[in-house]
Structure 1
């Protein structure tokens, strides 16, 4: 995205991201006024649904659903549908929203999602409250039996999520899907390091998304970028533990991928499995291009710089899958100003396809050392083509 595009987005988000104070023009819809018990045991879903419907149908400026402080609200799967009558609608979370804690309690409910905002324009989700998914009961079960995520925005536009604490989702904590012009800032997302598939933020089939100034420590990717996604900017994020910031995985079902203009900068990775990562399935088609990782710091990261173009379904075969004639073309990728320490011997690993090689890779101002005194680190490349500029340590293995 060029400078004009970035500033245009900042202007758009500025209209929607201000934490507006309640005013006489705003109408407040507290879930307590719609029958919520807020004891953490009684199902408050109907109260939340009623408060949302009232706010969404209000014609006043900035109608606001309020989840009050010092209260715990038990909520079952809900969809907050738009469009709403007001051009901007707020959902302020100051207390705690909790999901059912036992998998058995979900019987008869849709486990594919929990809290969903669908088709809303001008949505402002703010507050200092907590969304607690109580995911630990699911982590020992097969992932396909898990509720997929805690909070999702589907087909939303010009919306902001700010300041919320997410804890212990069964899988992804926050998903942005089929949405445009979304700002995510000042987030705090945590789950245990060994919790499976608990991505912090997953963005897919969406455009013009900014993730800024957030702390993410989970059992999977801090931020993951899915298929059909473009113009994504991720900055000032602390990531770790977790699996890093990942473009992918892409093309799992042999679909044609279109991913471009993904920019990650000023991210600190601490104790994560990966740092800057791009991963695509061998059976995928299409492209992932114009991707940059810049001004990155690393603290004991297992795979600081990692491209894996050979993802496959063979268990335990990562990096050793049989070659295929298909592949997602990875090109125009920049790794610039990346410094810090690796916890493994291979600090730069570019595992690209023999059939559809990586091209246009640029490396500059990279200084990665071992986190173990006296040990060295290396670069390892397969079918990766590009250029080096400035200091690259360990020595680059890119082919011209």
Structure 2
């Protein structure tokens, strides 16, 4: 059954309405540019994807719902987007839709008040877009569902994500390359892999991330808290990043920089950072602030700063950090490889390895 789409262009900006009810929608792209200055999409019902991957035969397998080249787009409502990803999770993620909802080449975009459930991979993907606000979302998938990032941001600038609850099988929010000026505030994250900058530099590619601010957010039983992850052999930088006023509850790795990332498989990739060419082939991490962070770690690795052995992480700033163990048998520690910076105020555990 196709959704009932109602246009109200005669009385104001055009509005596409999905009314209450449940509607099966095949892979669809809404493509601009539009002749109207503003476009509204109001979702009050439940939009579901085909639950059989074979329905994508002859169709681009990376897409389900896509909005492309639409400016001043407002997507909102009390409805639900359900990717019914269970059958996708059973097979290779390489042939799954990359996002339940993809916004590509959009500007002045607002996405508010929706619920996204069981996406095939990413729930929401923001690509090549500017001036984006995402607010008051509920994003849900099982903790073991693969690659179901809540919100993925890439090649985009001036993005705000706020006041949302995200629990998935991967990063609650992930930030890829060519990203500038991102503000993330008041996020409840868990289960999942935390909020991540990266992964950056895969296959030796160049990546740039600058001016990312994560504030007033809570992490519940996630595998990571605030994370920066890069591949060996990449080029570029991640800088001007701030993590402030965050709380961690029973988190494996509350604070982590991992410049040896390898699809989440420790030891799978050989150490390349000590080779003679490594200085030219390293994502440079610098000017990162950790301020007013507190909570509990369920592993000894409360703080892990695993930087490149050839190019250090520079200007790491710690101010008022208190991470204790969620298990009295564990003594939280700070671990470093080539991490440079300073700490002030109360810091627990002590970061004596910081150079």
User: Under TM normalisation by the shorter chain, which class is it?
Assistant: over 0.9
Q: How far apart are the structure 1 equivalents of 2:327 and 2:73? A: 48
1:65 lines up with 2:20 in the alignment? no
Distance 1:59 1:247 in 2: 44
Task: Count residues in correspondence.
Answer: 350
Q: Distance in 2 between matches of 1:370 and 1:272?
A: 15
Asked whether the 8 Å contact 1:224–1:247 carries over to 2, the reply is yes
The one-character-per-residue Cα deviations of 1:250-299 (angstroms, maximum 9, x if unpaired) are: 11121221110000001100000000100011111011100000000000
Deviating more after overlay: 169-178 vs 107-116: 107-116
| C-alpha distance 388-318 of structure 1, shift in aligned 2 (>3 A) | farther
Please say if 1:201 is aligned against 2:146. Answer: no
Counterpart of 1:370 in structure 2 is 325
- Verify: 1:163 aligned to 2:113, yes or no: yes
Question: Does the alignment pair 1:299 with 2:249?
Answer: yes
| SS state at 1:144 partner | helix
Are residues 151 and 310 of structure 1, via their aligned partners in 2, closer, same or farther at CA, if it must alter by over 3 Å? Answer: same
The secondary structure found in structure 1 opposite 2:169 is coil
Give 2:339's aligned residue. Answer: 384
Name the counterpart of 1:244.
194
Q: Is the 8 A contact 1:99 1:134 kept in 2?
A: yes
Would the aligned equivalents of 1:300 and 1:371 in 2 still touch at CA under 8 Å? yes
Secondary structure in 2 matching 1:227: coil
Among candidates 76, 79, 92, match of residue 126 of structure 1 = 76
Structure 1 segment 1-400 matched on structure 2, within 5 A: 42=1, 44=2, 58=9, 61-69=12-20, 71-312=21-262, 315-317=265-267, 321-323=271-273, 324=275, 325=278, 326-400=281-355
Query: How far has the Cα of 1:102 moved from its partner?
Result: 1.2
Structure with the bigger percentage of helix: 1
With normalisation by structure 1, the TM-score equals 0.84
Aligned mates of 1:314, 1:189 — CA distance in 2: 23
Two-structure CA RMSD over aligned residues (Å): 1.7
How far apart, CA to CA, are the structure 1 residues paired with 2:272 and 2:300?
24
Unaligned segments of structure 2, at least 5 residues? none
Deviations 1:53-112 (A, max 9, x none): x67xx576321110001x111111111111112211100000001100111222222210
Structure 1: give runs of 5+ residues left out of the alignment: 1-41
Does the 8 Å CA contact 2:299/2:330 hold for their aligned counterparts?
A: no
Alpha-carbon offset, residue 376 of structure 1: 1.3
In structure 2, what is the Cα distance between the partners aligned to 1:238 and 1:304?
14
C-alpha distance 314-399 of structure 1, shift in aligned 2 (>3 A):
closer
The answer to whether the 8 A contact 1:342-1:368 is kept is: yes
User: Are the equivalent residues in 2 in contact too, given 1:206–1:230 (CA < 8 A)?
Assistant: yes
Alpha-carbon distance in structure 2 between the residues aligned to 1:315 and 1:232 = 28
| Residue of structure 2 equivalent to 1:26 | none
CA–CA distance in structure 2, aligned partners of residues 346 and 362 of structure 1: 18
What is the CA-CA distance between 1:113 and the residue it aligns to? 1.1
CA contact (8 A) 1:267 1:297 kept: yes
